[in-house]
Amino acid sequence: MELTVLGCGGFMPYPGLAVPAFLLRRHGTSYLLDAGEGTQLRMVESGLSRTDIETIFISHMHGDHTLGLPGVLIRRGQEGCREPLHIVGPSRLENYVNAFQENLIFNLRYEIRFVPLSGSELHTFSQVWAGTVPLEHRIENFGFVLCARGRKRKFHPEKAKEIGIPCGPLWGQLQEGKEIVLKNGRVVKPREVSDPPPKGPKIAYITDTRPVFSYPEAFHNADLLIHEAMFLEKHRHHAEKKYHSTALEAARVANHLNADRLLLTHRSHRYNDPEILLKEARSEFSNTELAVDGMEIEV
């Protein structure tokens, strides 16, 4: 999977520090995480297609995460895409999108399938499965984990024959991880005839929150954890008041989740030298990098 950082600042856009948006691509399909103001322009600058977007995940309704959504949606349609689009996030998104369509007197000419979230959920899309979790912010907010799907288990035909499973569609179902029931009533579990599923690359995206240490299993062991680090530890009182995290707290979450790499994002423009955020996080979690607008990461 390839990830492009379209914006890694927080609160308001500044030159060289755009507001949150990340684009994840797998086999020609794209997934957008948040859509801060100017997202469509930054996609054009990075040479990324708008028409390949299958799903947009929006963490919460604050403007730095949502003001770019109308532009992305309109452009996707204007560039000829008629494929349905999923929008996953707070339930208010449906009102927001319908209101701008109505007031801008605009028809997107493709179907939007809203997926309103209410808690920790799992959803499946063509190239990834996605887990969600409520976070601790001033308003309803969700974290996401995206994991590549579709790699099949190694199947052992000799074991299947031994159990008496006839060669055919049942073998395929077991390879996809589904249980089957034989004519004699015997239930066969996939693990009886195949290896465990191969692990796809996994990316967790957690922003605009106090540090959380009670994530569902799906958020653990990510290859890449993108976590906000709005403040330094010496400004933790601001982080607590505004429901954000410090660089040190982000690093502690990375340790807690046993992530492979940590990417710090949503930083405040108050730090002229963002390397100090990096230094602070690395004191706790060494494999940390600082997100930069336009950065590309292979996961």
Task: Choose the catalytic residue: 34, 52, 64, 208.
Answer: 64
CB closer to Zn ion, 60 vs 75: 60
Q: Which one of 6-14, 167-175, 180-188, 231-239 is the stretch in contact with Zn ion (CB under 5 A)?
A: 6-14
Site string for Zn ion, 143-182 (x = CB under 5 A): ----------------------------------------
Task: Assess 284 for contact with Zn ion (CB under 5 A).
Answer: no
Q: 3-class DSSP state for residue 32? A: strand
Task: Assess 62 for contact with Zn ion (CB under 5 A).
Answer: yes
CB closer to Zn ion, 242 vs 261: 242
CB closer to Zn ion, 267 vs 282: 267
CB closer to Zn ion, 138 vs 191: 138
**C-alpha distances out from residue 42 to 7, 50, 233, Å:** 8, 11, 31
Distance CA 135, CA 142 (A): 5
Site string for Zn ion, 206-245 (x = CB under 5 A): --x-------------------------------------
By CB under 5 A, the count of residues binding Zn ion is: 4
Report the alpha-carbon angle 47-48-50, nearest 5. 135
Active site residue 195: no
Q: 3-class DSSP state for residue 160? A: helix
Distance CA 131, CA 122 (A): 4
Token look-up 């060669």 returns: 167
**C-alpha distances out from residue 194 to 150, 175, 177, Å:** 15, 7, 9
What are the tokens at 141?
């907010």
Least distance (Å) between residue 65 CB and Zn ion: 6
Q: Which of 1, 6, 9, 10 binds Zn ion (CB under 5 A)?
A: 10
Least distance (Å) between residue 248 CB and Zn ion: 19
CB closer to Zn ion, 61 vs 295: 61
Pairing of strands 142-148, 202-206: antiparallel
Least distance (Å) between residue 91 CB and Zn ion: 17
**C-alpha distances out from residue 140 to 31, 135, 137, Å:** 21, 7, 7
- Residue 237, classified by CB atoms within 10 Å of its CB into exposed (0-12), middle (13-18) or buried (19+), is exposed
Amino acid at position 250, single letter: A
Task: Assess 64 for contact with Zn ion (CB under 5 A).
Answer: yes
The residue ranges that bind Zn ion (CB under 5 A) are: 10, 62, 64, 208
Q: Which residues are catalytic?
A: 64
